[in-house]
Amino acid sequence: MEIQSVGVVGAGQMGNGIAHVMALAGYDVMMTDISADALDAAMKTITGNLDRQVSREKITADERNNALDRIASTTTLSDLGQCDLIIESATERETVKQAIFEDLLPHLTPETILTSNTSSISITRLASRTDRPEKFMGFHFMNPVPVMPLVELIRGIATDEPTFKACKAVVDKLGKTAATAEDFPAFIVNRILMPMINEAVYTLYEGVGNVESIDKAMKLGTNHPMGPLELADFIGLDTCLAIMNVLHDGLADTKYRPCPLLTKYVEAGWLGRKSQRGFYDYRGDVPVPTR
Active site members: 119, 140, 152, 190
What H or E segment, with its residue span, contains residue 190?
Answer: helix 189-205
C-alpha 63/C-alpha 19 separation (Å) is: 14
Q: Does 97 appear as a known binding residue?
A: yes
Cα separation, 41 vs 274, whole angstroms = 14
Residue type, position 99, single letter = A
159 touches 173 (CB < 8 A):
no
Is residue 10 annotated as involved in ligand binding?
A: yes
How do strand 288-289 and strand 280-281 relate by DSSP bridges? antiparallel
Confirm or deny that 14 is annotated as ligand binding: yes
Instruction: For residue 94, say whether it is annotated as part of any ligand binding site.
Output: no
Annotated binding residue 255: no
Q: Is the omega angle on the peptide bond into residue 146 within 30 degrees of 0, that is, cis?
A: no
232 is in an annotated binding site: no
* Cβ-based neighbours of 254, under 8 Å, separated by 6 or more: none
Residue 175 assigned to a binding site: no
Question: 135 a known binding residue?
Answer: no
User: How many helices (DSSP H) and strands (DSSP E) are in the chain?
Assistant: 11, 10
Say if residue 198 carries a ligand binding annotation: no
Pairs from 275-279 (Cβ < 8 Å, separation ≥ 24): 278/232, 278/233, 278/237, 279/204, 279/211, 279/229, 279/230, 279/232, 279/233, 279/237
Q: Judge whether 134 is annotated as a binding position.
A: no
- Binding site for NAD(+): which residues? 10-15, 33, 92, 97, 119, 143, 274
- Binding site: which residues? 10-15, 33, 92, 97, 119, 143, 274
